[in-house]
Amino acid sequence: MATTKKINVLFSAEMIRRRIRPLAYEISQCLDTSQELVLVVILKGAVMFGADLARALAPFFPLLRVEFMRLSSYGNERKTSGEVKVELDLSHPIEGRQVLVVEDIIDTGTTLGYLVRLLQARRPRTLQVAALLDKPSGRHAGNGGVHADYVGFEVGPVFVVGYGLDDAGFYRALPYVGVVED
Ligand code: IMP
Ligand code: MG
């Protein structure tokens, strides 16, 4: 069964916890803490990172909202096809507000590229992106401009799981990020 494979830890729960604090501080230095901040947590992968980042941001932003979006991309489980569909949209307008998209990982950049164009059309005051992981080696040509303003960790060309990230639905609940041994 898929869940019994060995996983090599890349970023431990402790490493993640230690990285989120300075990340939240950096965000508080770059944005206006006296204004509303809407976190747009992308389901399902960013749910753990979103929950931890939101709690780390709360002391800095008294006007913090947590919203969710769910996107799906057609293709096989490990690769984006390029076609993105909104399955769950925001429940609150973002026009004129500071918005921070919270993503699990940027790989080809297709999902984020689509999302940024979609949200930008709604005229937020500012739109930035925080990604737990960035996999620059995966970026497709044409998505060169797609980037996160805040990155937890960079990863090489490996498929990672845990802390929200899945492989065919498994491993999301692991408290660390690791690589599945084949
Ligand atoms: P992109 O559109 O190729 O940038 O894909 C981003 C999405 O693909 C992420 O939000 C993840 O859901 C998924 N993904 C990309 N790389 C990995 C990985 O290494 N492990 C798990 N999911 C991944
Ligand atoms: Mg996924």
Q: What is the CATH number of the domain that holds 173?
A: 3.40.50.2020
Catalytic residue flag (residue 107): yes
Domain that holds residue 74: 6-181
Question: Is 1 a member of any domain?
Answer: no
Q: Which of 44, 105, 153 to mutate to test the pocket of ligand 1 (most atoms within 8 A of CB)?
A: 105
- Does 140 reside within a domain? yes
Residue 80 pLDDT grade (very low, low, confident, very high; cuts 50, 70, 90): low
Is residue 84 helix, strand or coil? strand
| Torsion angle (degrees, nearest 10) of CA 24, 15, 149, 172 | -100
In the chain, the number of structural domains is 1
Q: How far is CA 131 from CA 45, 47, 91, 134, in A?
A: 11, 12, 22, 7
The answer as to whether 109 is a domain residue is yes
Q: Is the pLDDT of residue 124 over 80?
A: yes
CA dihedral for 180, 151, 74, 145, sign (positive or negative):
negative
Cβ–Cβ under 8 Å, residues 56 and 24: yes
Task: Convert the pLDDT of each residue in 157-180 to its tens digit.
Answer: 999 999 999 999 999 999 999 999
Q: What is the pTM of this model?
A: 0.94
Q: Which residue among 32, 52, 104, 107 is the active-site one? A: 107
